[in-house]
Structure 1
Amino acid sequence: MPPSQRPFMGATPYQDVAASGVTFRVWAPFAADVFVAGTFNNWSSDNDALFSEGNDYWSVDIPNALVGNQYLFYLQNPQAPSGWQPWRMDPYARQIIRNGQGTLNGVIAANNEALADVPGYTMPNWNEMVIYEINVRTFVSDSGAAFTDPNGLKTGSFASIAAKLDYLQGLGVNAIELMPLFEFDIPLDAGYNYAYMFAIEHEFGGPDGFRELVHQAHQRGIAVIVDVVYNHLGADADTMWKFDGWSASPEFGGIYFYNDWRRETSWGDRFDYGRGEVRQYIRDNALRWLEQRYADGLRWDSVGSIRNVYDNNNDPAHDLNDGWSICQWINDLIDQRQGWKITIAEDLKDNEWITKSTGAGGTGFGAQWGISFFWKLHDAMTAQDDSARDMQAVAFVIGQSYNQNAFQRVIYTESHDSVDATANPPMARVPEMIWPGKADSWFSKKRSTLGAVALFTSPGIPMLFMGQEFLAWGAWNVNYMMDWAHAWQFTGITNLYRDLIHLRRNWFNNTRGLRGQNTNIFKVDNTSKVLAYHRWDQGGAGDDVVVILNFGNQGCTNYFLGLPRPGLWKVRFNSDWSGYDAYFGNWFSYDTTATSGGTDNLPYVANIGIGPYSAIILSQDA
């Protein structure tokens, strides 16, 4: 029997005028023979052979295999080391199920991974995007979940996230970023130690649950960004370890991995980015999320570990040129095929080449996480003494951009990395870091919300970590569900975040400049700890926005500063309003009139009032 003439990898159902069934195809260059076994042949390991295509791929059409059947490949290699497991999961398996014996089987999945996309849905423009990062397992409980946390709370799912989409839409969020969804070998994993790249974690709801979540999100105008991990395979997974029985030496992982000193990362073995079949495997995965599953973007984990063995800048001896080029290749394909979708690099080195175009020699990512913004704002918020708050450092990161493009960076004051209880050293939520054990204190509320104002008024794509908007405290731990009681306890803080997001998105047509490319930081008062900056797009009334941040414990009355235009400037936001928290001081921050005789290198001057550890936002009516 000849190999299949039909395309695609893994298990692909087919139906045409001549026949129906399933095509199986696998890459196994060192296998002597390959079989597929499953519920369609009573798990016979020698009944249904795959046939060599002459290019290290094996394939066959099985007419009696059906969608929903379970299956595995059975590989034979007389040269394989003792103890090698010939039963292999399909690396391209799109659905996986626990078989009741402590292991997993592939499931033949239908080709319709996504519903037809929502009519009229368009992804938010990057300069209007507000991202909300979510860990599916710990965000909100699903009463039907199979697992519970140590407190007896059910874990989360795609369905439980979908039930919160109206809440997120009301907050003003228009993009959710889901931490890795790849199938795990072990329960209660954050997703970065995954086992099966093409399968969607079945405990979250599998491909059907993801399809429905994307559909529900798009109905609300909310984009879905997926966190993908291409820098390693999970250390607990043997999915592709010595997949067909070969490796260059016993300690190496075989065909999917580097078989030399380049293989090791801190988390598991690194893929061999120089091997064409491995490059195709990663490319196919990236495009599947965007083209078959209708995700709106990809956030690539640890790009630094893809482009350099030790995650370094300026280290040519350990650079991985093949890693650099695979980033370029995939980003170019996405730009050519769906150029409006976003790819975000977690590189964390402030390396402008990550977001330079491939034509200029860069890797071509649309944006990257702004690590300097995080650390300088974190230091300013958490320092115990005002004297330690460096306004010059804060000013620098507020004005920072990559390649003169404000929206090539994603900015945040909390992320899953920065609040992780298992980090070394352990991290925690910003309110907890400000005053450990008293995260609901006045100081924690004031300085964490001051950081939020900087986040939503600085150039960049702002991102929240789940629960940040209702003063979640402590540290995030993948073993414990997030405490939603805070959402009812601190509704005022949530309203503060909502108001900031609305201003960021220009809901009232008087803060357009917060979506613009331009920033002028015109006052850096390191004595009073006051920072002021002008944001604009085209400029003019309704566009020009002035933001004043007070990182000091003393309020200011009749404080003079420059303004870019004459006339009445209205207070659009005052973080000290007691409506946000009963203990806030309601400092008198008033509309002000700018007159000639400017200061701070601006043509006009006015006076303002601003509370301690507070911020105000000014603009003019359109």
Structure 2
Amino acid sequence: MALNLLPMGELGAIETNGTLTFGLWLPWVSAADGNRVAVKIIHETDQFLQNVPPREFPLSHTVRDPYGDFWSVTVPIAGTPPAVAGSAWGMPGRYVYRYTIVNPNVGTLDWIIDPFAREFGVGKLSAFTLGYQPYTWSAEEVDWRTPRLSDLVLYEINIGEFGGDLNRVGNVIAYLADLGVNAVEIMPLSNVGTSVDWGYLPIGYFGVDERFGKRSDFRALVDLCHQHGIAVIVDVVYGHTGVDFPYYDAYTRLRYRDNPFMGPFAKDYFSNFGKSTDFNRPLTRDYFYTVNHHWLDVYHVDGFRYDCVPNYWDGPLGVGYASLVFETYQLAKSKLAQADPAWRRFDGGPGKPPNLVQMAEQLEDPQGVLRTTYSNSTWQNSTFDAARSVARGDRGRLFDLGLQLGLFGYPEQETTNDVSIPKTALQYIENHDHERFLCNFGTYNPDEAGNPLFQEGDRSRWFMLQPYLIALLMSKGIPLLWQGEEFAENYFLPDVGEGRVALLRPLRWDYFYDGSGQPIVTLIR
């Protein structure tokens, strides 16, 4: 079942010479049934002033294929007088906006964000920049080529913990290149509703969360990474959303018995705090396919790490995950055939598949997802589990650890339609989901109150990391380092609970210089 790209030139907030056009599909929300939709807009500098209300503009309703009810309006910002004299309305800069729906049965629904927004404000607000200047890519970008799968050395980062924002992360890209890293995997950049968050409950998909910076900041970071020989892989969450995602939020408050986007599909791991997306719905499938295209085309990323694949796994011939990665692979092939310069980075050579990285987090069956889909890499916890058991004293797992380090049972390539696609798995002993490996050798608690969240691994035992890191870096597959692993970062992380994600754990860069960190840095280099 072929997927379709949504017409992004007509969706979200689109500026042309000071005039904004807003458009969105709201299937089953029809003017004929008495519904009205409006957009509320205010300049960002005015949003907290009690005497400056937002300007409100009604949207017009049409029926458009293939999803039905479509709402849109054109707003000449510069030609529309401000609601209050002296406000920033009409001036260049960031504006925040939201939609409202007036429904004859439930009344007025306010604070509905835009599912197609490219920028975001604080909390539940979409945004746009009046006078936005597109980023100009460096001259070197056209020559960038995504590394082959077999050459990748991966480094996972959380923007908020690694540097705080995109600009500060850019300051240490040269350090990562010097460390020997040639790919970064960035935890979700999508918009979320809270200020301290890992990013796995997204409510906006087409831009960078305002916590980290602006869309031009991320383009600049990708450009800089490429100049230093580092590919950029983004972590994406398609099987579930946060509760404020508009296609869940609006239809729930409308009290509709059905939903054109959300609903049960495969395995629902997150029903206690997130909501499942329904890939049986055409809008859902096309939406996430368009999200992939957007990040590849607009931001020049080199691939994706697909979070929690079981959320939308309905088999190798299904309409969920397998279809999405196949269509994304075909998209890259098509762009290469068209000689699109923005996609030249994926050129693997004559008769070779694109070097696009499509990495599954399919921990239930990592070997199977490589054999039966167009994923070319996968996370797997078997090496991690065996290494942790050995570190905790179970010497009976040594043989198992050896097998996992050699990726026993994993395919190295699969031939489909006469094209051989390289396949491999990641190897790691640390990642964002687990406590630091040092914690296996002993912990202490610097907190006087004894709060277990503040436990730390004993860095005096740094030397016990060495054999595991040597095995990791010499193993078969793609080695993955989790930020700070190279200088013996030692945070504890609980296996469950809100304390996993609601506590910021910034890197302690001073560890780089001390007697525990320096030997590990030297080893990895």
**Scaled by the length of structure 2, what TM-score is found?**
0.75
Match of 1:75 in 2: 101
Match of 2:491 in 1: 474
Matching residue's letter, 1:162: G
Instruction: Pick the aligned partner of 1:216 from 221, 224, 233.
Output: 224
Q: CA deviation at 1:105?
A: 3.7
Q: Which residue does 2:15 correspond to in 1?
A: 13
Q: Distance in 2 between matches of 1:398 and 1:29?
A: 49
1:218-237 correspondence runs (5 A): 218-235=226-243, 237=244
CA contact (8 A) 2:120 2:127 kept: yes
| Paired position in structure 2 for 1:599 | none
Instruction: Find the counterpart in structure 2 of residue 58 from structure 1.
Output: 71
Q: Secondary structure at the match of 1:344?
A: strand
Query: Does structure 1 conserve the Cα–Cα contact (< 8 Å) formed by 2:170 and 2:224?
Result: yes
Residue type at the aligned position of 2:392? A
> Does the 8 A contact of 2:147 with 2:355 survive in 1?
no
Unaligned runs of 5+ in 1: 141-155, 357-361, 419-427, 499-622
Query: CA separation in 1, counterparts of 2:266 and 2:305?
Result: 27
Name the % identity.
26
Which residue pairs with 1:497 in the alignment?
524
- Specify whether residues 49 and 328 from structure 1 end up closer, same or farther in structure 2 by C-alpha distance, changes over 3 A only: same
Distance of 1:197 and 1:297 partners within structure 2: 15
Answering whether residue 135 of structure 2 is matched by residue 133 of structure 1, we say no
Task: Identify the match of residue 269 of structure 1 among 260, 272, 275.
Answer: 275
Measure how far apart 1:166 and its partner are: 1.5
- The correspondence of residues 315-354 of structure 1 with structure 2, limited to 5 A, is 321-337=319-335, 338=346, 339-354=354-369
RMSD: 3.1
Q: How far off is 1:402 after superposition? A: 2.5
1:549-560 maps to which residues of 2 (within 5 A)?
Answer: none
Q: Alignment partner of 2:386: what SS?
A: helix
- Whole-Å separation in 1 of the counterparts to 2:324 and 2:109: 30
Question: What does 1:212-611 align with in structure 2 at a 5 Å threshold?
Answer: 212-235=220-243, 237=244, 239-243=246-250, 246-249=254-257, 254-258=259-263, 265-266=270-271, 267-307=273-313, 321-337=319-335, 338=346, 339-356=354-371, 362-380=372-390, 382-384=391-393, 388-400=395-407, 402-405=410-413, 407-418=423-434, 428-437=435-444, 439-440=457-458, 444-475=461-492, 478-489=503-514, 490-498=517-525
Structure 1 letter corresponding to 2:117: A
Contact 2:152–2:479 (8 Å) recurs in 1: yes
Distance 1:363 1:63, change over 3 A: farther
Match of 1:157 among 161, 165, 171: 165
Count of residue pairs brought into register by the alignment:
440
Distance change >3 Å, CA 332–CA 222, structure 1 → 2: same
The structure whose RCO (Cα within 8 Å, separation 6+) is larger is 2
For residue 136 of structure 1, report the CA deviation from its aligned partner: 0.8
Aligned residue identity for 2:324? I
Q: Secondary structure at the match of 2:56?
A: coil
Residues 104 and 274 of structure 1, relative CA distance in 2, 3 Å threshold: same
1:59, distance to aligned residue in structure 2 (A)? 3.0
Contact 1:287 1:334 in 2 (8 A): no
Secondary structure of the residue that 1:24 maps to in structure 2?
strand
Q: Secondary structure at the match of 1:355?
A: helix
Structure 1 residues 35 and 168: alpha-carbon distance in aligned structure 2, compared to 1, 3 A threshold: same
Partner Cα distance (2:412, 2:189) in 1: 33
Distance 1:238 1:88 in 2: 8
Paired with 1:48 and 1:321, the residues of 2 have a C-alpha distance of 33
Amino acid at match of 2:378: Q
CA distance in 2, matches of 1:119, 1:333: 19
Mapped partners of 1:407, 1:472: distance in 2: 31
Which has more helix, going by share of residues?
A: 2
| Matching residue's letter, 2:97 | Y
Whole-Å separation in 1 of the counterparts to 2:483 and 2:399: 30
Q: Distance in 2 between matches of 1:383 and 1:265?
A: 30
Distance 1:430 1:302, change over 3 A: same
What is the aligned counterpart of 1:96 among 95, 104, 120?
Answer: 120
Contact kept in structure 2, 1:398 and 1:454, CA below 8 Å:
yes
Moved more, 290-299 or 338-347: 338-347
How many Å separate the matches in 2 of 1:354 and 1:69? Answer: 43
Residues 505-547 of structure 1: per-residue CA shift (max 9 Å, x gap) = xxxxxxxxxxxxxxxxxxxxxxxxxxxxxxxxxxxxxxxxxxx
Q: Retained in 2: the 8 A contact 1:30–1:77?
A: no
Give the structure with higher Rg (CA): 1
- TM-score in terms of structure 1 length: 0.64
In 1, Cα distance between the equivalents of 2:229 and 2:266?
Answer: 46
* Cα distance, 1:409 vs structure 2: 0.7
Q: What is residue 115 of structure 1 aligned with on the other side? A: 137
The answer to whether the Cα contact below 8 Å between 1:472 and 1:486 also exists between their aligned partners in 2 is: yes
CA distance in 2, matches of 1:63, 1:52: 24
- Cα distance in structure 1, aligned partners of 2:404 and 2:116: 42
The 2-side partners of 1:364 and 1:170 are apart by 32
Residues 496 and 371 (structure 1), Cα distance of their counterparts in 2 relative to 1, 3 Å cut: same
In 2, distance between residues paired with 1:247 and 1:343?
37
Change (3 A) 1:376 1:215: same
1:376-399, CA deviations, whole angstroms, 9 ceiling, x for partnerless residues?
22222x1336xx243321221122
2: distance between equivalents of 1:352 and 1:115?
Answer: 38
CA distance in structure 1 between the partners assigned to 2:233 and 2:218 by the alignment: 12
1:261, CA displacement in angstroms?
Answer: 9.4
Name the aligned partner's letter for residue 479 of structure 1: L
